[in-house]
Structure 1
Amino acid sequence: MLKAAVLDRLWARMSERGDFPMLSQSLRTTMAAMNNEELDYSSLVQVVLSDFALTQKVLRLANSAMYMAFGGNITTVTRALMVLGMDAVGHLVVGLKIVDHFHHSVPRRIDAKLELNRTLLSGCVARKLTEHGDLRAGEEAVVCTLMRQVGKLLVVFYLDAEWDQIRRQVETGIDENAACEAVLGVTFEEIGLEAAIRWRLPETIRAGMVDYDPQADEPRQVQWLRAITRYSTEVAEVLSAPNLADTQREMHIVQLAYRYNRVLGTDPDALVEMSVALAREEAGDSVMREIAELRANADAIARATLDPETRIGAGLEDLRALPSQNALGPVLALASETVLAGLGFTRTIVFVRHGSGTFKAKLGFGPNVEAALPKLGFDAAFEPDVFHLAIANSVGIFIENARDPKMLARLPQWFRRSIDDARSFVLLPIAAENQSTVALLYGDWSLTHEPRRISQREMAALNSLARELGRFFAHAAAMEATAP
């Protein structure tokens, strides 16, 4: 009870800084999206797309050499989820959010920057160790490694006076965790575990954060995670240790490799080679490039500079590569994100026709779209508005000036109530094998965007994408018709 009271008081003090509650909420939102029981990609995609810098970093890592064998040329977050899996991408996002938070909150104190860099480096070691194995397990290991350092980082970043007291005790030869407990009443590990609980990280992550004990009676996966986090942390400490000769550095790494190789399931010589290579490459800036990749701020990947037609074409190729029996949810998320990113739209929304003859918004991306979805829908019966014109059409229509009084008269009330800032928008009808329209893909630029048009070539690419979507609806309809 005493420790619980100490942790509550500690949390209250840290929460006085406005950025800390934001991190907590962000991580809880990410975990909720990952734990969606219906495997709805759109929730996690929305979390990533809401942060431009995070989007670029996820795409960059998904296209890095480490993941190339699993996909390559990934241009959308939805495609990354399809290829790499919900857990791998979700844990990747959690790791990036933790790193970014401390990177942007870093005080000018040299010791705080040093602790952050050690944490980043330990994450790089964990990623190197796991890059040829199971993606989910690898990203879990990276998150465990980062979270193992979080307790210490929280003290360094948010409790300056207490950190100074801890440092003074450490300088007298006292162990860091013992010094932390003497000053705060809890250890760094307990603070980190409390963070994991409050951020609703899964039990697997929390178990992997605990210190490795070779004699512990734990499942093999838990012991493996604990060994990865401990080994990565210790290697990072050796790599970042000041005034250490190369021969001493390598000797320490050899000792670590032989201590952990059995539980890690890796040949000790291979462990030494990988770790020593990291040490040698520091001078060549290789490790720092790894770190910079995690810390990069909105530096768009090269394909982000492609023209809209090419980017939409890349999404179309992703759709063509999918079998017709693919679930509609991920397919619509992929198409919606392709259009959003390709044209730089403010938001996209997909309306799907239901048996009753109504079109209801199924998913969408962009600011405040998720909250608006339940209010968006219309009856298929004809009304003299632009949405009914679109579902009666065989190709998309583009409304250049939605603010024109004549056009305002053609916008239905349900739309104007929920989306009142559209400057211009496109409506793409989706038909299933010459049937009537079964869905409608909407994308817009808001008033915050400069006026622009959609070119004929861009519209042709959009129409091709809409036609490709019809294949998935046709298969879903056929399966429904043959169902007992």
Structure 2
Amino acid sequence: MTTQHSKTPLEKLLAEMDKGGDFPALSSTIGEINRAVGDENSRAGRITEIILRDIALTKKLLRLVNAAHYGAFGGQPISTISRAVVILGFDAVRNVAVALMLFEHLQNHANVDLLRAEAIDSFYRGVLGRLLSSSAGVRDGEEAFISALFRDLGRLLARFHFFEQTERADRLAEEEMLDEQTASRRVLGASYDELGLAIARHWHFPSNILHAMAPIAAAPRKKANMSDNDRLQIVANMARELHRSVAGKTPEEQEHAIDVLYLRYREVAQISRESLLETAYKAAHALRAETALIDVNIGKSPLIQQLLQEPNGKTGAEDDASGEAAMPEEAQRESPENDATSLLAMGMQDMTAMMLGQFHLADIFKLVAELFFRTELFDHVLVCVLDRTSQSLVGRVGLGPHAAKMRGVFRIPLSFAPDVFHAATSKGQDILISDATADNIRDRIPEWHVDAFHAHAFLLLPIMINNQPLGLIYADKIDQPLQIPNHLLGLLKVLRNQAALALRQKL
């Protein structure tokens, strides 16, 4: 006789959250990104591919990255996810992407102003973590940002998915003078902290983030061998408590709460009472600058509106008070998301900058694929390179919903075949097939392409070196004709020529 497994309270909560809405999709995507970061063999291309599925996310991520890092690279904005990964690293891009996805999820579920305010305040806690990072010896400000944002993940998602139960937990805490964790465990069967850690594990977050999300000792002591994970935990908890020290309090109550916070953390962080209060105000101004870039109205948060007023009652400066250089207005107007023309122009500048230093061809091909894909002209983009053993052009880098499958079957022999692929590669001829089903074209499309791709239209741009085909850029449209304005087609060909130049440099 077999006994059926009885779900734990945590498992029941996660199962309930997975039942509806976009939480399952959010979990799947964040889990994919975290697994990709942990896979050293394919992480760069995989992270880019996952993020590029969502054009809106891509645009917002690049705006935030450029606002935070503009000026660090000679005033040259970062125009592609591929370039952001190369310059900033996998973890930094992951952290910004996950923060944006979580924030979008919260905003979509906020059906009352109270929850919209809590979504904004969650982002504020992340900014606090970034600003406090150096005081505790944390080198990576973006890691501090995501750790501080996630420190209250359990309570935050419980508020959005189990609102009535959290209200009951609040009443219970007040009536019986219980702490928040005890009250939430009584009502939900698991504490907010336990729920948050369970979700983070479900999303495959690394051990350092999980460690930072755990509660800290009542009065943390400085240790001679304090680890980076311990410092990150200090920042995440300090940011959470600084937020609670100023939220919903009068100035006098804020001062008292900050005194308590200072005494609690003074041994493990280089802080003062004055610097803590100043950080609370600076974070509000930094938040205003960042949320403006992603089209979020922070007016729903009473706390942020209060903090945007300086202690003397005057509104603070309009510029970003985070101490980082804001992107000039001209650069924002010319940012690559405005249209396909500026996207390709900025991408070419990115590629030129890469080619002036030490570069890998794989990074060049990823950049090319991303730029083609982000024009939104194509459903799939594949960059193919020569496999000398089989004397075939094979798919190496791909973007689009079926790109992984397409890479596996895309193989163009260099030997003669009476089809458009051989015509393109043998003669170095650019070919645009606007309707692959037309009578005069159908017989020139090889069966392997018809069976595997089902493309209505496609573009072939061979990469030729000394009249020899060493690569090919393939881009298709599945259900519609492919209509490319002449000026954009010209820019795509210039981009192909840059890829050929990069390939020549490596020969």
In the superposition, the TM-score normalised over structure 1's length comes to 0.85
Cα distance in 2 for residues equivalent to 1:385 and 1:200: 46
1:287-344 residue CA offsets vs partner (Å, 9 max, x unmatched): 34434545759xxx74346554443232122112224752222210101111222363
1:294-443 aligned within 5 A: 296=296, 302=333, 303-304=335-336, 306=338, 308-323=340-355, 325-342=358-375, 344-355=377-388, 356-394=390-428, 396-423=430-457, 425-432=458-465, 434=466, 436-443=468-475
Cα offset for 1:374? 0.6
| Offset of residue 382 of structure 1 | 1.4
Does residue 1:236 correspond to 2:256, yes or no?
A: no
Alpha-carbon distance between aligned partners in 2 of 1:371 and 1:99, rounded to the nearest angstrom: 32
1:46 equivalent to 2:79? Answer no
Aligned pairs (5 A) from 1:204-283: 204-213=208-217, 214-215=220-221, 219-241=226-248, 244-246=249-251, 248-250=253-255, 252-253=257-258, 256=261, 259-260=264-265, 263-265=268-270, 269-278=274-283, 281=285
| Deviates most, 368-377 or 68-77 | 68-77
2:493 corresponds, among 456, 463, 478, to: 463
Q: Which residue of 2 aligns with 1:36?
A: 39
- 1:265 to 1:374, Cα distance in 2 relative to 1, 3 A: farther
Provide the rounded CA distance (Å) in 2 between the counterparts of 1:87 and 1:352: 29
- Alpha-carbon distance between aligned partners in 2 of 1:220 and 1:383, rounded to the nearest angstrom: 62
Answer yes or no: is 1:287 the counterpart of 2:287: yes
Q: Residue 9 and residue 65 in structure 1: after superposition, are their counterparts in 2 closer, same or farther (change >3 A)? A: closer
User: Cα RMSD over matched residues?
Assistant: 3.1
Query: Match of 2:183?
Result: 179
- Alpha-carbon distance change, 436 to 31 in structure 1, aligned in 2, over 3 angstroms: same
* Matching residue of 2:91: 87
Unmatched 5+ stretches in structure 1: 478-484
CA distance in 1, matches of 2:442, 2:346: 34
Are 1:195 and 2:199 counterparts? Answer: yes
Structure 1 position 270, deviation (Å): 4.4
Q: Does 1:58 align with 2:58?
A: no
Residue 64 of structure 1 aligns to a residue in which SS?
A: helix
Which residue of 432, 453, 457 corresponds with 2:484? 453
Cα separation, partners in 2 of 1:401 and 1:237, compared to 1, 3 Å:
same
Count of paired positions: 461
**Matched-pair contact (CA < 8 Å) for 1:57–1:296:** no
Q: Which structure 2 segments of 5+ residues have no match?
A: 298-331
CA shift at 1:429, angstroms?
1.3
C-alpha distance 288-468 of structure 1, shift in aligned 2 (>3 A): closer
Within 2, Cα distance between the matches of 1:26 and 1:59? 18
- Cα offsets for 1:399-434 (capped at 9, x unmatched): 3333322122211111112221333x32111134x2
Q: Give how far 1:254 is off.
A: 5.9
CA contact (8 A) 1:396 1:427 kept: yes
SS of corresponding position for 1:155? helix
Structure 1 position 475, deviation (Å): 4.5
What one-letter code is carried by the residue in structure 1 that aligns with 2:415?
A: A
Write out per-residue CA displacement over residues 197-232 of structure 1, whole angstroms, 9 at most, x where no aligned residue. 111111111011112331386743122211211122
How far off its partner does 1:357 sit?
0.3
Which residue of 1 is the match for residue 321 of structure 2?
Answer: none
AA at the equivalent of 2:484: R
| Cα shift readout 1:156-176 (whole Å, capped 9, x = no counterpart) | 222244223202112223211
The verdict on how the C-alpha distance between 1:467 and 1:131 changes in structure 2, with shifts beyond 3 A counting, is: farther
